[in-house]
């Protein structure tokens, strides 16, 4: 029984990195001209407001649509949603597909004041 709990704990630790929110890395990546800012929220949420320069690809659509906007798997991709949960799911999907520079920027409301002046 202890072994099961230890293995479960180890798996949790190993998977923790994939969903971590890293706003400093996101801001840094967005300084690059080749970065892509992706809103993974619903169309309704996007219509209510989005970050400057963002495109919308819902987290459930990311696997099917990413190649049309980012065929280069080394291109920096910065993802955000309402809380960071859906962007973490999209990040995991993209990393499993071979994308190497995917950053979970977290919540729209937290990023908005940081990126309001982005062109």
* Catalytic residue status for 66: no
Site of tokens 């994308």: 99
36, 62, 81, 111: the active-site residue: 81
Distance CA(77)–CA(26), nearest Å, equals 9
How is the chain classified by DSSP, letter by letter? -HHHHHHHHHHHHHHHGGG-B-HHHHHHHHTSTT-EEEE-S-HHHHHH---TT-EE--TTTHHHHHHHH---TTS-EEEEESSSHHHHHHHHHHHHTT-S-EEEEEEHHHHHHHHTT--
Please list the active-site residues: 81
């Amino acid at each position: 029984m202890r072994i099961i709990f230890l293995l479960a704990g180890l798996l949790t630790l190993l998977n923790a990195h994939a969903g971590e929110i890293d706003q400093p890395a996101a801001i840094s990546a967005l300084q690059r001209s080749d970065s892509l800012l992706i809103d993974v929220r619903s169309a309704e949420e996007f219509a209510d407001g989005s970050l400057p320069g963002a495109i919308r690809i819902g987290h459930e659509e990311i696997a099917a649509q990413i190649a049309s906007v980012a065929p280069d798997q080394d291109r920096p991709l910065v993802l955000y949603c309402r809380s960071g949960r859906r962007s973490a799911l999209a990040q995991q999907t993209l990393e499993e597909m071979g994308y190497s520079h995917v950053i979970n920027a977290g919540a729209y409301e937290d990023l908005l004041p940081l990126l309001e002046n982005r062109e």
